[in-house]
Every structure is written in structure tokens, then in C-alpha cells.
């Protein structure tokens, strides 16, 4: 292995390149004029191979004073710096120190970036994976399509299921694209008159307020992933242009006269039935088939109840420090409440529910009284907002009796645990005989 302060010399460009290929070093000081080749050619070879091999080799070009233009060109091609000949030792020492310090800082930045990415990926994994076989199947689909780096993906699921996190996970696991940008847009939140400009950009003067040239999101996402959320809300006029980009990978900015080419994987998401939209003429059939090359359905939280407590614990660990609260765990009775609720708002609603509970908590334990379910139920629109926890119907507008609520609650827990009374007792925080007696009393 090369010593930390070892120096290797070579009398020609080919010999120097061969020495570096055998034993890469931290810094190369390269003459612009070599007896057998051009120093620029050697620079380009080192920069190219270093990128391919994942190496961080810095190159300093030495050139005659009269040839400063080519030195500047070398810097543009990837050289760290240049020195004028004849070389002055003090200047050389300073440049070498600067280069090695820059290399050290770059390594530190990569390490910190990797740590942050790891934390983000861990949080993302907790959000989408959970413990259920249903989400394990979704993640398996993600891993499969990640290897098809250009394939368009359609992610479908109810609002709040985490479709944007699935898109992000696809991006993070796709070789050759995860290093590129992840760009997202909600098609429902941008006015129809502006959506086309947002996606494809515009040239100066393309319309009244176009004071200058604007790059669109397809250009911003070049080399990475473009996530089109709520794609079912996209106007039909824009759908035709999106179809052209997907088929030809080229487009023009608004008011532009030349085609632009990009390399972008498109991931689209919707909580609507696109096939039904096609039947009504609200969505193009050809675009639907072009988007639905690889389909991933994200199941609602009520269909993967094994994920409720892991997700709730993840959100608790996330919000308690942020809100400067001591909340550290859920009481067994609270876990029972969390498990029995149907979550019409899915994971997003669970996240909000836990954040609200942390705010209301006063010690390390999240108790049932801290679980406040807000918002309308899935029942009659325009009716009074009532807690969606139980399905007991109101009689003559009066609230259900305590016995009716308790019966429904225990019935839900029995359903969730597959009839395991011991598990129900643990979730309720009571003894097994107490649960057995209640089940018998309620005729369950």
C-alpha cells in the first residue's frame, strides 16, 4: 500500500497515467506539455476513470504563463487548479495544501451527506414499510421496478396512504437515478393556465408575464425522477404534451423553437380511478396506458393494521423531541384505541393524531384521553362531525350508551386479534377473566 506521504514521478504522460491507474493517489501535478501526449488528454482520462471507479483524485495543471487560456480550459474540464511555469516552490506547497484540504472537506461532506441520507431513508422506510405483509409486497414491487431505470410507474391509493413516499423510495433505490434530482409537482395545486409552463418551461415573451426564460420541471429532473402527484387532475390539454414527452423524451418550452431532450423517469400517483376517468372522457386512454406500465397499489391503513403501532411509535419518536415533550410510549389502553380505529385519512391521519396526542400529553405516557379524533367521518356529507372511532349508530340523535361503546370496542379488538382474548386483555390493560366475562355478557 502507498504510504501517506509517498510521491511517484513519471517522465511522460502515458507512464504517469499507467502509474496512476496501478496505484491511484490523492493529487496529480500534471504538465500541460508532455513529450508523448497532451496534458489535457491525460487530465480527461484521469477525471473520467476517477468518476467510473469512484475515486477522488485532484489534478493541478502546470503550464507556461503564455498559455493561461488552456489552463482555464483545464479547470473547466475538471482540474482543481493551475500553476504557471517556472514553478515556484512556495506557491507549489500552498497549492498542494489547498488541494489536500479540499479533498479532506469533500470527504467530510460526503460522509455527512451519507449520514443524513441514511436517516432520511430510515424515516422513509418506517413510514412505508411497517410490519405488514401487504407493505412488504409493495416494497418488493418497488425493488423490482427500481432495476428498470426508465420504466414509468403509476402509484394508486387512497389519500394519505403515502404515495409520495413510495415515489421517493423508487427514486432512492434506482441505480443511476438516485444521484440525480427528485422533483415533484401536485397537478391539482397548479392552475391549468400555469401547469404547462411549470412542466415544460417557457421562453421570454411566450406570454404576457414571461419576462425571461424559465426551465421547466422536466429539465430540472433531468437524470433523476419527476413525480406527478394527483395526475388525474391534469387538464386534457396538458395530457397530450405529457404523452409526447413520455414517448419521445423530447419537448419544447412554451414559445420555443427547438426540441429539448431529457432523461427522466416519471412516477405518477392518483387517488382516483383513472380507468373511470377515461370512460368519462376526462383522461386520455393513450396516456393512461403510457403511465400504467408498472402499477403499484398502496393499501389503506385499515387493511394493514399490523403497521399501526410501528408507525405510531415512529411518529411518537419523531414528534416528542421536536415538541420538547417527554412522551415516550403509549399506554396499553391507548394502543387498543389506535388499533381499533379505521383511519379514513390513512397514515397521514395517524401522523396527525399522534402529533396532537404529544401536544396534549404532560408526562412520558400517552393515555387514551390524549387521543382526539377530529374531522368528519366517511358518513353523510354535511352532517355534524362525529368521532369516527366507533360504528355504533346514534338513536334519535342521542349518543350511544357506554355499554354499546364498550361492546363495539371489544368486538373490534377481537376482530383485530383473531379472537385472541389474552391479546385483547393486554391491549385493554385488564385481566383475562375480566375480558372473558365482558365477552360473555355482551354475547360476543
Q: How far is Cα 11 from Cα 18, in angstroms, rounded to an integer?
A: 12
Strands (E), 13-138: 27-31, 58-64, 81-85
φ and ψ at 329, to 5 degrees?
Answer: -160, 165
1 lies in some domain: no
Contact 350, 308 (CB under 8 A): yes
Residue 393 has what pLDDT?
A: 47
Q: Who contacts 181 (Cβ-Cβ below 8 Å, separation ≥6)?
A: 220, 221, 222, 223, 224, 225
Confidence (pTM): 0.60
CA neighbor of 436 nearest in space, from 404, 408, 410, 403: 410
Q: How far is Cα 379 from Cα 212, in angstroms, rounded to an integer?
A: 50
Number of continuous H segments (helices) and E segments (strands) in the chain: 17, 14
377 lies in some domain: yes
> Are 316 and 194 in a shared domain?
no
CA neighbor of 145 nearest in space, from 277, 266, 290, 319: 266
124 lies in some domain: no
Q: 194 is written with which cell numbers? A: 400555469
Q: How far is Cα 416 from Cα 82, in angstroms, rounded to an integer?
A: 70
> Are 277 and 400 in a shared domain?
no
73 lies in some domain: yes
> Are 269 and 147 in a shared domain?
yes
Structural domain span for residue 281: 129-299
CA neighbor of 262 nearest in space, from 322, 313, 217, 307: 217
pLDDT in tens, the chain (444 residues): 455 567 888 889 899 899 998 888 889 998 888 888 888 889 888 988 887 787 888 898 888 755 667 767 777 788 888 888 888 888 888 888 888 888 887 777 666 555 545 544 554 555 555 568 888 899 899 999 999 999 999 999 999 998 999 999 999 999 999 889 999 999 988 888 788 888 988 887 667 676 677 888 998 999 999 999 999 999 888 999 999 899 888 888 888 778 888 899 999 999 999 999 999 999 999 999 999 999 999 999 988 888 898 899 889 988 898 888 888 889 988 888 888 888 888 999 999 999 999 998 888 899 888 888 765 433 333 333 333 444 444 455 565 667 777 788 888 778 767 777 877 777 777 777 888 888 888 888
375 lies in some domain: yes
Q: Which residue has the cell 408526562?
A: 363
Residue 22 has what pLDDT?
A: 87
200 lies in some domain: yes
> What sign does the dihedral 243-249-252-258 (CA atoms) show?
negative
Domain boundary among 299, 316, 344: 299
Classify burial at 138, counting beta carbons within 10 Å of its beta carbon; exposed 0-12, middle 13-18, buried 19 or more.
buried
* Structure-derived torsion over alpha carbons of residues 357, 358, 363, 368, reported in degrees to the nearest 10: 20
CA neighbor of 357 nearest in space, from 382, 379, 374: 374
368 lies in some domain: yes
> Are 192 and 93 in a shared domain?
no
> Are 292 and 309 in a shared domain?
no
Q: How far is Cα 167 from Cα 173, in angstroms, rounded to an integer?
A: 10
Q: How far is Cα 299 from Cα 314, in angstroms, rounded to an integer?
A: 19
* Kind and range of the H or E run holding 185: strand 182-186
8 lies in some domain: no
Contact 55, 23 (CB under 8 A): no
Contact 79, 59 (CB under 8 A): yes
Residue 232 has what pLDDT?
A: 92
CA distances from 4 to 1, 19, 100 (A): 9, 16, 12
> Are 151 and 232 in a shared domain?
yes
Could you count the other beta carbons within 10 Å of the beta carbon of residue 274? 21
Number of domains making up the chain:
3
> Are 271 and 312 in a shared domain?
no
Amino acid at each position: 500500500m502507498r504510504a501517506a506521504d509517498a510521491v511517484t514521478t513519471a517522465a511522460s504522460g502515458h507512464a504517469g497515467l499507467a502509474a496512476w491507474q496501478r496505484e491511484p493517489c490523492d493529487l496529480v501535478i500534471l504538465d500541460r506539455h508532455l513529450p508523448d501526449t497532451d496534458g489535457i488528454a491525460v487530465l480527461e482520462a484521469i477525471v473520467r476513470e476517477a468518476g467510473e471507479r469512484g475515486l477522488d483524485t485532484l489534478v493541478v495543471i502546470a503550464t507556461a504563463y503564455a498559455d493561461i487560456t488552456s489552463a482555464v480550459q483545464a479547470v473547466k474540464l475538471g482540474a482543481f487548479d493551475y500553476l504557471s511555469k517556472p514553478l515556484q516552490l512556495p506557491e507549489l506547497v500552498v497549492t498542494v495544501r489547498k488541494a489536500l484540504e479540499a479533498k479532506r472537506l469533500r470527504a467530510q461532506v460526503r460522509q455527512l451527506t451519507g449520514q443524513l441520507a441514511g436517516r432520511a431513508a430510515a424515516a422513509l422506510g418506517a413510514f412505508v414499510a411497517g410490519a405488514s405483509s401487504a407493505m412488504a409486497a409493495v416494497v418488493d414491487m418497488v425493488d423490482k421496478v427500481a432495476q428498470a431505470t426508465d420504466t414509468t410507474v403509476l402509484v394508486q391509493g387512497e389519500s394519505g396512504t403515502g404515495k409520495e413516499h413510495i415515489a421517493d423510495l423508487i427514486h432512492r433505490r434506482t441505480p443511476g437515478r438516485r444521484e440525480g434530482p427528485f422533483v415533484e409537482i401536485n397537478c391539482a395545486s397548479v392552475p391549468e393556465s400555469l401547469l404547462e409552463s411549470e412542466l415544460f418551461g417557457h421562453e421570454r415573451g411566450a406570454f404576457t408575464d414571461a419576462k425571461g426564460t424559465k426551465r421547466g420541471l422536466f429539465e430540472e429532473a433531468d437524470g433523476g425522477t419527476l413525480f406527478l402527484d394527483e395526475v388525474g387532475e391534469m387538464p386534457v390539454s396538458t395530457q397530450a404534451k405529457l404523452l409526447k414527452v413520455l414517448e419521445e423524451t423530447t419537448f419544447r418550452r412554451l414559445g420555443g423553437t427547438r426540441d429539448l431532450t431529457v432523461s427522466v423517469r416519471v412516477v405518477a400517483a392518483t387517488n382516483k380511478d383513472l380507468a373511470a376517468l377515461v370512460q368519462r372522457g376526462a383522461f386520455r386512454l393513450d396516456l393512461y396506458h403510457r403511465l400504467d406500465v408498472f402499477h403499484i397499489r398502496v393499501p389503506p391503513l385499515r387493511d394493514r393494521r399490523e403497521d399501526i403501532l410501528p408507525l405510531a411509535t415512529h411518529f411518537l419518536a419523531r414528534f416528542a423531541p421536536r415538541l420538547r415533550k417527554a412522551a415516550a410510549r403509549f399506554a396499553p389502553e391507548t394502543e387498543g384505541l389506535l388499533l381499533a380505529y379505521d383511519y379514513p385519512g390513512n397514515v397521514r391521519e395517524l401522523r396527525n393524531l399522534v402529533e396532537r396526542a404529544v401536544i396534549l400529553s404532560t408526562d412520558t405516557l400517552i393515555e387514551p384521553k390524549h387521543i382526539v379524533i377530529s374531522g368528519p367521518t366517511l358518513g353523510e356529507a354535511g352532517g355534524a362531525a362525529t368521532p369516527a372511532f366507533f360504528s355504533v349508530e346514534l338513536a334519535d340523535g342521542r349518543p350511544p350508551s357506554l355499554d354499546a361503546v364498550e361492546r363495539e370496542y371489544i368486538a373490534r379488538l377481537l376482530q383485530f386479534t383473531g379472537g385472541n382474548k389474552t391479546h385483547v386483555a393486554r391491549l385493554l390493560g385488564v385481566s383475562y377473566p375480566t375480558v372473558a366475562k365482558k365477552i360473555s355478557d355482551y354475547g360476543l
